[in-house]
Every structure is written in structure tokens, then in C-alpha cells.
């Protein structure tokens, strides 16, 4: 799946021009072919918001895109591969969002505000990214989406280990943040999945986000205070 891991301090953004090819029948090598794949994925994200995952068919995609069905099958073997490719593009963009946040050099002296900002950023992305909610609110029904989400969570946990290292004064090695960051990411992922399903109840949805922030800050604060005793 498309990840955006840092190598030797360099930022490696997820490319929107060179899509991950793991779900493609034929890897696009020419600019026009790459643009065609991105165009197909753009069409599918619109259909996801319009009709939902179940109602999408390859015939509908081809019709909406204005291309022969054979052209669609040149790149994707079936509907499932197309949906997975859209999901992978979503996660690449999530990674870009996190890296952009880190690159902005946030004020680490106010780590509680930092937690709030991160959760708000994730929630805002989940709500506004085209096609995100239809795919990821039901991700547990698709083993491939579960798998790529798990791998992506590992990458995001690595990013957060670097971001929050230093918040806990007694912690001397970044590796000590690894498990903590992974727990924070997995909890956030699980709670935000519930938040997506409850979004029609605005009061409940707002409460879920607030409690998630409280929980994460309490978790970090426990370790900060433990080191001070």
C-alpha cells in the first residue's frame, strides 16, 4: 500500500500522479495512462458518495467515466480492485496530512492542544475527503481494506513517535514511544470508525470526539506523571 515514511529525515509525500499499482491489472507507465487511472478513481469517489459501495458496478463506472468497459478492465480486474485502490489513495492522503502537520513544526510545549488539533484534523479529513465515509465506515467487511489500514496505522504510529518524543521527560529512546503511539493510533482509528457511523446524531458525534481527546490526553499524562514520582 502507499506509505509516506521518512528516510533519513526527508519528507517523502504520497504522489497523486503515480498511483500505487498493487490493485492494477496493467501498471500505467505513460503520463496519459496514469491520468486515466486517476480519472477513474475520481469517478469512483463521486459514485461512492452518490450511490454507496454496494450499488457501484464496473458498468456504472465505465458509463459515468465515458469510457468503454474494456478500457476499464485494462487497468482493474474487477470492482473490488477499484474500491481498494480508492481506499489506498485515501490512506496516502491521510499520511500526507500527518506529515504536513509535522512539517508545520507545531508548538510541542502545549502537547494537550496538539492532541486536540490532530483529532480535529483527522475528523475534518474523514468528513470532507470524497468517498471516504462509504468505504471506511464499513472497512471491517473487506479483509483487504483491514490489511492496508493496519499497515498504514503502523506508519502513522511511527510519525507520532517522532512527534511526541520529548513530551515525556524521562523517556530517553524513541523506541519507547513505539507501543504508546501504536495504542494511540489504534484507539483513535477504532473510535473514529464509531464516530463515522454515529455522525447523523450530531450531539453524540461531538461527544465521541471530545471523549477521544480526553482519553488520549489522560493516557499521555499518566506516563508524564509516572516519571515525576
**Residue 50 within any structural domain of the chain:** no
User: d(Cα 124, Cα 44) in Å, to the nearest integer?
Assistant: 21
Task: Select from 190, 107, 82, 208 the least CA-distant residue to 146.
Answer: 190
Domain count for the chain, please give it.
1
Q: What is the CATH number of the domain that holds 159?
A: 1.10.357
When the pLDDT of each residue in the chain is averaged and rounded to a whole number, the result is: 85
**Residue 1 within any structural domain of the chain:** no
User: Taking each helix axis from N to C terminus, what angle separates 111-128 and 202-228, rounded to the nearest 10 degrees?
Assistant: 150
Supply the pTM of this predicted model. 0.79
| Helices H / strands E in the chain, number of each | 9, 0
Burial readout 161-181 (b: 16 or more C-beta within 10 A, e: otherwise):
bebbbebbeebeeeeebbebb
| Strand (E) or helix (H) holding 95 | helix 79-103
Do residues 149 and 91 make contact, with C-beta atoms less than 8 angstroms apart? Answer: yes
**Looking at residue 34, what is its pLDDT?**
86
**Residue 54 within any structural domain of the chain:** no
**Residue 5 within any structural domain of the chain:** no
**Residue 198 within any structural domain of the chain:** yes
**Cell reading at 204:** 453524540
pLDDT in tens, 39-94: 999 999 999 999 999 999 999 999 999 999 999 999 999 999 999 999 999 999 99
* Residue numbers of the domain that contains 135: 87-228
**Residue 66 within any structural domain of the chain:** no
Percentage of the residues of the chain whose pLDDT score is greater than 90: 59
Lowest-pLDDT range, 25-34, 80-89, 101-110, 175-184?
25-34
Q: How confident is the model at residue 28 (pLDDT cuts 50, 70, 90)?
A: low
**Residue 36 within any structural domain of the chain:** no
Do residues 171 and 165 make contact, with C-beta atoms less than 8 angstroms apart? Answer: yes
User: d(Cα 3, Cα 1) in Å, to the nearest integer?
Assistant: 6
**Residue 166 within any structural domain of the chain:** yes
Amino acid at each position: 500500500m502507499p506509505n509516506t515514511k521518512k528516510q533519513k529525515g526527508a519528507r517523502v509525500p504520497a504522489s497523486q500522479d503515480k498511483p500505487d499499482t498493487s490493485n492494477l491489472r496493467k501498471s500505467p507507465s505513460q503520463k496519459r495512462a496514469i491520468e486515466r487511472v486517476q480519472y477513474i478513481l475520481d469517478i469512483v469517489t463521486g459514485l461512492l458518495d452518490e450511490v454507496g459501495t454496494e450499488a457501484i458496478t464496473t458498468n456504472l463506472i465505465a458509463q459515468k467515466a465515458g469510457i468503454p468497459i474494456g478500457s476499464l478492465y485494462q487497468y482493474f480486474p474487477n470492482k473490488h480492485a477499484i474500491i481498494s485502490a480508492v481506499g489506498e489513495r485515501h490512506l496516502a492522503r491521510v499520511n500526507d496530512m500527518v506529515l504536513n502537520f509535522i512539517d508545520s513544526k507545531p508548538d510541542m510545549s502545549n502537547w494537550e492542544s496538539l492532541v486536540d488539533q490532530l483529532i480535529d484534523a483527522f475528523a475534518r479529513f474523514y468528513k470532507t475527503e470524497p468517498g471516504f465515509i462509504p468505504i471506511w465506515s464499513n472497512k471491517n467487511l473487506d479483509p483487504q481494506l483491514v490489511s492496508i489500514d493496519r499497515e498504514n496505522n503502523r506508519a502513522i504510529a511511527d510519525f507520532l513517535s517522532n512527534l511526541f518524543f520529548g513530551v515525556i521527560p524521562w523517556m530517553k529512546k524513541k523506541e519507547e514511544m513505539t507501543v504508546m503511539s501504536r495504542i494511540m493510533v489504534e484507539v483513535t482509528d477504532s473510535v473514529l470508525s464509531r464516530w463515522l457511523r454515529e455522525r447523523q446524531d450530531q450531539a453524540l458525534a461531538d461527544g465521541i470526539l471530545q471523549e477521544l481527546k480526553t482519553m488520549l490526553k489522560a493516557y499521555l499524562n499518566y506516563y508524564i506523571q509516572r516519571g515525576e514520582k
